[in-house]
Amino acid sequence: MSTDEGSEHERPDPPEGGVPGGPGTNRSDAPTGGGPGGGGGGERLARWFSGRIGGFLVPAAAAFLAFLVGGVVVLATGHNPLGAYKAIFEGTGLNVASYFSEDSRQSAWGDLQQTLIVFTPLVLGAIAVAFAFRCGMFNIGGQGQYLVGLFAALYVGVNFDGLAAPLHILLASVAAVAAGAIWGGIAGFLKAAVGAHEVITTIMLNWIAVFGGQYLFELGGPLQGANPSVPRSETVVESAQLPEFPGSTGLQPLHIGVLVAVSALAVYYVILNRTTLGYGVRAVGFNPEAARYGGIPVGRNYFLALAISGAFAGLGGAMDVLGWKFTVATNDIQVSDVGFIGIAVALLGRNKAVGIFFAALLFAALRTGTSTRQLDAETFPPELAGNLSTMIQALIILFVGAELLIVYIWGARRRFRPAGPVRIQPGLKQ
């Protein structure tokens, strides 16, 4: 999948208007007219969608329409959509007004902690998708990369007891990053070496990670815990558990992994926009043949892009297992969907660091606010709230993807425009 077929992707800015070492490719040299061969209107619309204004309005409109359709569904069930959305919003901890009341402050802070705990792996999973997107690839393997990173961090966290806490956490995190990078690098190597499509290989690697994890922790598995009747791992030792965020409370206090996720966004931005590696990745994503002609190693960038994507996803697995899970059961592996939601977050965030931040916060808030413990049954049935969250997420993806359809229809409208009268030129007298 080319990066031209999805969210916004910045074109790299080669010196002298061309790819380094290649002929000039300044856009002013390209035909931009509105004639039969030109796509003036379509190009202008595409540029608007990819500009700053379109880059904000399209995701915002997609989210608004998704919530609007979701409100219609809530209304169809006989409930007040405004009341349901208000209850969901208050359950996310994002309502600033709650912190000015003594009665609701502690509850709101607890809800916000849960939102940020969910937010952390979503950011890292979305970066895993977005980085590959910028190189012209669709990384569906974020879930598998997340899982192998989680397994690696869990193994190091359960073992090596006696290490100092900072060293133990660092070692477990590095193991997760390495495992995710290897898992993603396999798909990148296959694409670079034999042209295997990354969608196929990453889907296969997802299932290998799922079934491999179930084998590891099932009854009699090599990493099963001490209880022989429970398919669950041992618990991460205290020295490998992430420190709690200052002021955190509750059964699942906020851990410092949220700071790691925000820092990862900054690293993502710097790599793509301030390094030679990032320039090569964006150049290959824009046009692999032009990049190859300019001396940029396309195959190496395919491999590195997917390996780096896997590293981010693996780090997300480490933050979860070291931050609040501390143990893994076989049913946890089956129901995990962090990597898949990361695809939606990257699409809504248009593969931008700032966009990913707000998109991940939205999806995390949806998941927290629609949990069964947050909603009053009289406001909206909690058993339906999870389905409402899933539906809204799917609608957001649908409406963001509709951008491609709009651009295509606008650019192709000349094909269906009725032909005007033909002007007959008078013949010249001999």
Domain boundaries, the chain: 1-7+39-91+374-414, 97-350
Helices marked H in 51-101: 52-76, 81-90
Chain-centroid distance of CA 179 in Å reads 19
Helix (H, G, I), strand (E, B) or coil at 18: strand
Q: Per-residue pLDDT tens for 308-344? A: 999 999 999 999 999 999 999 999 999 999 999 999 9
**Which has the closest alpha carbon to 118: 144, 91, 140, 148?**
91
Helix (H, G, I), strand (E, B) or coil at 24: strand
User: What is the number of alpha carbons within 13 Å of residue 231 lying toward its C-beta?
Assistant: 15
Q: What is the CATH number of domain 97-350?
A: 1.10.3470
What pLDDT shows up at residue 249? 78
Cα distances (angstroms) measured from residue 423 to each of 94, 196, 417, 419, 427: 65, 53, 17, 12, 12
% of the chain surpassing 70 pLDDT:
80
Tokens of 220: 């009699």
- Would you say residue 93 has pLDDT above 60? yes
The Cα–Cα gap between 65 and 215 comes to: 43
Cβ proximity of 59 and 400 under 8 Å: yes
What pLDDT shows up at residue 404? 64
**Least confident residue range of 20-34, 354-368, 398-412:** 20-34
% of the chain surpassing 90 pLDDT:
62
**Least confident residue range of 3-7, 221-225, 241-245, 255-259:** 3-7
What's the rounded mean pLDDT across residues 104-128? Answer: 94
Task: Kindly indicate the confidence band of residue 77, based on its pLDDT and cuts at 50, 70 and 90.
Answer: confident
Q: Per-residue pLDDT tens for 276-314? A: 999 999 999 999 999 999 999 999 999 999 999 999 999
What's the rounded mean pLDDT across residues 98-119? Answer: 91
- Would you say residue 139 has pLDDT above 80? yes
**Least confident residue range of 80-94, 128-142, 173-187, 411-425:** 411-425
DSSP 8-state symbol, 417: S
Place of tokens 């290959």: 284
Cα distances (angstroms) measured from residue 24 to each of 14, 36, 60, 130, 298: 9, 25, 37, 28, 19
Place of tokens 């780096």: 308
What's the rounded mean pLDDT across residues 162-191? Answer: 97
Decide which of 368 and 400 is more confident.
368
**Which has the closest alpha carbon to 69: 407, 408, 404, 390?**
390
What pLDDT shows up at residue 399? 85
Task: Kindly indicate the confidence band of residue 408, based on its pLDDT and cuts at 50, 70 and 90.
Answer: low
Radius of gyration over alpha carbons of the chain, in Å? 25
What's the rounded mean pLDDT across residues 230-240? Answer: 95
Sign of the torsion formed by the C-alpha atoms of 55, 279, 21 and 13: positive
Tokens of 108: 């709101």
Cβ proximity of 167 and 304 under 8 Å: no
What's the rounded mean pLDDT across residues 99-112? Answer: 89
**Three-state SS across 227-291?**
CCCCCECCCCCHHHCCCECCCCCCCCCCECHHHHHHHHHHHHHHHHHHCHHHHHHHHHHHCHHHH
The Cα–Cα gap between 239 and 424 comes to: 87
Task: Kindly indicate the confidence band of residue 10, based on its pLDDT and cuts at 50, 70 and 90.
Answer: very low
What pLDDT shows up at residue 23? 37
- Would you say residue 156 has pLDDT above 50? yes
What pLDDT shows up at residue 260? 97
